[in-house]
Amino acid sequence: MRDVGHFIGGEHVAGRSGRSSDIFQPMTGEVVGKVALAGADEVRRAVENAKAAQPAWAAVNPQRRARVMMRFLQLVADEVDSLADLLAREHGKTVLDAKGDIQRGVEVAEFSLGVPHLMKGEFTDNAGPGIDVYSMRQPLGVVAGITPFNFPAMIPLWKFAPAIACGNAFILKPSERDPGVPMRMAELMIEAGLPAGILNVVNGDKTAVDAILDDPHIKAVGFVGSTPIAEYVYSRATAAGKRAQCFGGAKNHMIIMPDADMDQAVDALIGAGYGSAGERCMAVSVAVPVGQATADALMEKLVPRVEGLKIGLSTDSSADYGPLVTREAVERVRNYIDIGVKEGARLAVDGRDFKMQGYEDGFYLGGCLFDEVTPDMRIYKEEIFGPVLSVVRAKDYGEALKLPSEHEYGNGVAIFTRDGDAARDFAAKVEVGMVGINVPIPVPIAYYTFGGWKRSGFGDLNQHGPDSIRFYTKTKTVTSRWPSGVKEGAQFSIPTME
């Protein structure tokens, strides 16, 4: 049993609230540790440390800040195997998938190395008679990130890497379900040369979240999680005068056109729908074959592939996916499957009774596949967040385009086709934030921006890419004129450049 506290002022500190939460190992269902749940006073202590350290860090030139991040990335690379093993054991995803989790975060940190260029302002010489105008980007001060269980390396890195590179101090509130990797990354940042107090980790639940949202010294908050909580965080943060970027749930569709390579489409659905046990905000959870013949051909190939999924230990390199994160997560997904059956969807593959031999207390669930799902069903409307794929048959392209466009979520969508005109039309018209063309999980590369539309995202700026620099900085514009001996007298009209 291990105890996990907080990381404040460059060192580990024990929890003081008297409250804690169990840390499970999903493979076995065993409790392997306790994580402290911060109270408001512990959040305040972290903020005070951050506030005291931030001005000196902001005064460090951006190239030197980038060098700290560069050393951090080398340290992560040196121990990626142990980080991935820790992540897999706490979350449940396979070690290979855990390495992907880390790598996608690393790529955003690599983008942040360009902060000397990314923070450059603009300059106009002689904008008016003897007048120069220039702008500069400056850090906000103390900012915070509230990150989810399903990507305990990637999402924290998406948040704190650009924020710290821009000269801010950061308060990270990771998921209490798998806190090990965020705590280790904070240690590695200190080893890389980050001053104490610039990255603080407070573990906790809603009490800690509310303390972050209400603290007047925290200028911006980023969040990833479910839509109801994203909306809550966004509303409370903005009411307190903070910047906020909050990303919520998803119902990602994949359209399969009649001309699609069916084997390629099935491979994509299997990986994108069932990888990480479906616990991804970009998981494909709805397949939309266009036309009856396409749907029948898809199901013919899809059913045996789902039946043949290998569910195993997170440490099993041959497993397709491992356990879900908690027993409650398994029960929630099971409940949705029961609802789908009651609503009249055809459960073509039923994985509810799967048991891992020798690990019967682990949080496992077999792959499930629904056919003949309709848009009025709850299993279509709501995010299930598990290894469940729903097939919604569309009679034509127009109906297929309408499904993701009219859904309340608008995170990601994909189309599989050989027709360039259809793909181009789909990309232009679909009302979704991220689009894949023969790519099932269209997560943009690090120097583009990640963000969904509609109830998948709240806020004007997205994650990573240039938007991250804009989010974590404020622009100051300077209009400058030096005396030249010319006396113009007082001017009472608004200044212009004529």
Mean pLDDT by runs of 10 across the 498 residues of the chain is: 94 95 96 96 97 98 97 98 97 96 97 95 89 95 97 97 98 97 98 98 97 98 96 97 95 98 97 96 96 97 97 95 96 97 98 94 97 98 97 98 97 97 97 96 90 92 92 96 71 68
> Is residue 204 domain-shared with residue 79, that is, in the same domain?
yes
The predicted structure's pLDDT at residue 484: 72
Structure tokens at 379: 């299993």
**Final residue in a domain of this structure, among 437, 452, 474:** 437
> Looking at the domain assignment, is residue 483 inside a domain?
no
CA distance 254 to 246: 24
> Looking at the domain assignment, is residue 88 inside a domain?
yes
Buried b (16+ CB within 10 A) or exposed e, 215-243: beebbbbbbbbebebbebbbebbbeeebb
> Is residue 263 domain-shared with residue 238, that is, in the same domain?
no
What is the tens place of the pLDDT at every residue in 436-453? 999 999 999 989 889 999
> Is residue 169 domain-shared with residue 33, that is, in the same domain?
yes
> Is residue 150 domain-shared with residue 202, that is, in the same domain?
yes
CA distance 172 to 200: 6
CA distance 118 to 168: 15
> Looking at the domain assignment, is residue 331 inside a domain?
yes
> Looking at the domain assignment, is residue 15 inside a domain?
yes
> Is residue 263 domain-shared with residue 297, that is, in the same domain?
yes
Q: Considering only CA atoms, which of 72, 76, 314 is closest in space to residue 194?
A: 72
β-bridge mates for residue 141, sequence order: none
**Final residue in a domain of this structure, among 248, 274, 309:** 248
> Looking at the domain assignment, is residue 491 inside a domain?
no
Q: Which domain holds residue 346?
A: 252-437
Strands of the sheet containing 388-391, edge to edge, are 346-349, 368-371, 388-391, 284-289, 252-256, 412-416, 434-437
> Is residue 73 domain-shared with residue 164, that is, in the same domain?
yes
Rounding to the nearest 10 degrees, give the CA dihedral for residues 384, 303, 295, 344: -50
Sign of CA dihedral 477, 482, 486, 490: positive
CA distance 228 to 132: 48
Contacts of 366 (CB under 8 A, 6+ apart): 309, 311, 349, 350, 351, 352, 353, 354, 387
Count the Cβ atoms, other than its own, within 10 Å of residue 280.
23
Structural domains in the chain (count): 2
> Looking at the domain assignment, is residue 367 inside a domain?
yes
> Looking at the domain assignment, is residue 470 inside a domain?
no
**Final residue in a domain of this structure, among 199, 215, 248:** 248
> Looking at the domain assignment, is residue 372 inside a domain?
yes
The predicted structure's pLDDT at residue 498: 62
Alpha helices in 254-370 (DSSP H): 262-274, 292-307, 327-343
Q: At what angle do helices 80-91 and 62-78 cross, to 10 degrees?
A: 70
CA distance 38 to 55: 26
> Is residue 244 domain-shared with residue 258, that is, in the same domain?
no
The domain spanning residue 340 has which CATH number? 3.40.309.10
> Is residue 228 domain-shared with residue 284, that is, in the same domain?
no
Provide the annotated active-site residues: 281
Q: Which residue has the tokens 């560069």?
A: 70
> Is residue 33 domain-shared with residue 138, that is, in the same domain?
yes
The pTM score is 0.94
The domain spanning residue 68 has which CATH number? 3.40.605.10
CA distance 282 to 300: 25
The predicted structure's pLDDT at residue 129: 84
